[in-house]
Amino acid sequence: MNNVLSIIKNQGLTFEQKINSLAKEAENSVSVLNIREKTKEYLENGIICDLFEGNIPFRPRYIVPDYEKFMKNGSRFLELTPPTNIWEATNNLLILYKHVPSITTMPVYIGNIDYLLEPFILDYNESKLAIRLFLKHIDATITDSFCHANIGPLETKAGNIILEVMKELELPTPNLTLKYNNETSNNFSIKAIETALVTAKPSFANEPVFTKDFKGDFGIVSCYNGLKIGGGASTLVRIRFGKLAKEAKSVEDFFERVLPEVTGELLNYIDERCKFLVEESGFFESNFLIKEGLIEKEKFTGLAGVVGIAEAVNYLLNAEEQKDRFGYSQKANKLGLKIVEEFHNLVNQHKSKYAGDFFENKHILHAQVGIDTDRNESPGCRISVGEEPQLLEHIVQSAPFHNYFPSGIGDIFVFDETYKRNPEAILDIIKGGFKENLRYFSLYSSDCDVVRVTGYLVKKSEMNKLEKGEAVLRDTEALGKGARDNGKALERRLRKDSL
């Protein structure tokens, strides 16, 4: 009960953050999962980490509703008829957002908002006001920046207004991704880059790559997870590869003994979490999102997460000098790829009735961006911050990893403010990267207040408030401060001319 009292008395938490923390306390006071002894060992030593999802999976981690269907049909449960103008459209969406659960309790996906609003854009000024209020409402009420909107691939009036308003507001939430393909106009892409150089969003997603992996519609969700529209992810459990590597006596031992064993435990644990959600929680029977066809159980899967590939490789090769380390040496890069490939094969061979038919009953891979308390674990397959090579080498090194992670992987590049005078240069780099099959590309400028920590966005000014002990609106600002202090997340290499 000590925790309960200390949550209640904590002046650094908002009311909403207290309620969520208290709910988590209650959830964690009960144990329902049948966790194997070996898995427990891995959970205790931190090699397997469920990102504090809690003891009882009573809602999927990520939900990706079919908002187009909602706009077309309205909702019986919410007593909403289909919208007829921009005010009804934004209001209907804002209402639904409050009823889309997730692991943080707040929606992690709020739709391809440009396409959703485009039919209602008549007068520019009125539409801009509606969209401004809509986005401000989201930022102030969905108080963590794992909430993600998508735009594109095609340029629309709504898409242009959304970018303009985001550039003016400079708010962390919602996160934003532009689905980019050959049909995305240069005008729209440049506008997106100019916006990102001010407010660290949108990121660019390689639309054809995701479309192929998800056999059609997909959403970019939370940090940068690709997921199926009308579905989502039941859970995400990850392996800390930096820590795992230290269990191995040699590279051979890593592949023959260590990796298969931990992956077996990971998959069993993912299944156990999904099993409770599917068979006992009642979520898929009772929630109105299911009843109204906005999500289907068969479009959900589990996510197997990866962090610390860089540290694992450097440890296994005992690589001290820069030229021998991950990101530089061919040998190190190849070993990194081999680890990911082997892990992918093990996950891919595992069929589970708790992964949906849409995914052929398989769980999929996610390059997790790390959490605030991680140490010595670089996000996903990223090169460690402070060791980044030149931009060209960096992109060419990272591209082959992207193939294995349909549910998200990507680097973040910080550009010098001179790029504001030549945003076309960044578009050329993104186009080149996507030709190399890069899946996702994030950018911001060195002089932004809104910055991308590891996947989500924070305001530097709010983190400074937090440092002084003041309560701040978004929980992600606390996470951002941890990642800044423990993970050097804001010390990425600055990309200037030639760097």
Partner 1 sequence: MNVIVNKIIKFSNVDGPGNRTAIFLQECNMHCRYCHNPETINICNNCGLCVNTCPTKAISLENNRIAWNKELCIDCDNCVKSCRRYSSPKTVSYSVQELLDEVRKVKPFVRGVTFSGGECSLNYQFITDFFKEIKRNFADFTCFVDTNGLVDFSEGKYADFVKFTDFFMLDIKAYSEEEHIALTKKSNENILKNLEFLMKIISFMK
Q: By the criterion CB under 8 A, which residues form the site for partner 1?
A: 390-392, 395, 418-419, 421-422, 424-429, 431-433, 435-436, 497-498
Q: How far is the CB of 241 from partner 1 (least distance, A)?
A: 30
Strand ranges, E, within 217-361: 218-221, 225-228, 231-240, 300-307
CB of 127 to partner 1, least distance (A): 32
Long-range contacts of 136-141 (CB under 8 A, 24+ apart): 136/169, 136/171, 137/94, 138/94, 138/97, 138/110, 138/173, 138/174, 139/169, 139/171, 139/172, 139/173, 139/174, 140/473, 141/94, 141/98
The number of beta carbons lying within 10 Å of the beta carbon of residue 250 is: 11
Choose between 391 and 463: whose C-beta lies nearer to partner 1: 391
> At its nearest, how many Å lie between partner 1 and the CB of residue 69?
38
Element (H, E) at 151: strand 148-151
Q: Cβ 333 to partner 1, closest distance in Å?
A: 17
* Minimum separation from the CB atom of position 417 to partner 1 (A): 11
* Token pair recorded at residue 402: 């992207």
Q: Which is nearer to partner 1, 179 or 394 (CB)?
A: 394
Min dist CB 76 to partner 1, Å, is 51
Pick between residue 118 and residue 194 the one whose CB is nearest to partner 1. Answer: 194
Contact residues for 84 (Cβ-Cβ < 8 A; gap 6+): none
DSSP string, 298-326: GGEEEEEEEE-HHHHHHHHTT--SGGGST
Task: Report residue 464 CA to chain centroid gap.
Answer: 24
What minimum distance in Å lies between the beta carbon of 403 and partner 1?
Answer: 17
| Rounded least distance, CB 196 to partner 1, Å | 15
Beta bridge partners, 233, equal: 62, 301
Burial 171-186 (b: 16+ CB within 10 A, else e): bbbbbbbbbbbeebee
Of 354 and 441, which CB lies nearer to partner 1 in the complex structure? 441
Distance in angstroms (rounded) separating the CA atoms of residues 323 and 329:
6
CA torsion angle 21 25 27 28 (round to 10): 130
Which residues make beta-bridge pairs with 440? Answer: 205
Nearer to partner 1 (CB atom), residue 110 or residue 429: 429
Nearer to partner 1 (CB atom), residue 146 or residue 415: 415
Rounded to the nearest 5 degrees, what angle is found at the Cα of 102, between the Cα atoms of 413 and 345? Answer: 65
Check: CB of residue 170 under 8 Å from CB of residue 198: yes
Q: 263: phi > 0 → left, psi -120 to 50 → alpha, else beta; which?
A: alpha
Rounded Cα gap, residues 6 and 453, in angstroms: 28
Residue with smaller CB distance to partner 1, 245 or 427? 427
Q: Is the CB of 261 or the CB of 387 nearer to partner 1?
A: 387
Task: Provide, rounded to whole angstroms, the least separation between the CB of residue 498 and partner 1.
Answer: 4
Compute the distance between CA of residue 443 and CA of residue 199 in angstroms, rounded to an integer.
Answer: 10
User: Token pair of 397, please?
Assistant: 């090194």
Q: Which is nearer to partner 1, 154 or 399 (CB)?
A: 399
Strand order in the sheet with 109-112: 109-112, 148-151, 175-180, 203-206, 440-445, 411-415, 494-495
User: What SS3 state is found at 343?
Assistant: helix
CB of 421 to partner 1, least distance (A): 8
Find the shortest distance in angstroms from Cβ 205 to partner 1: 18
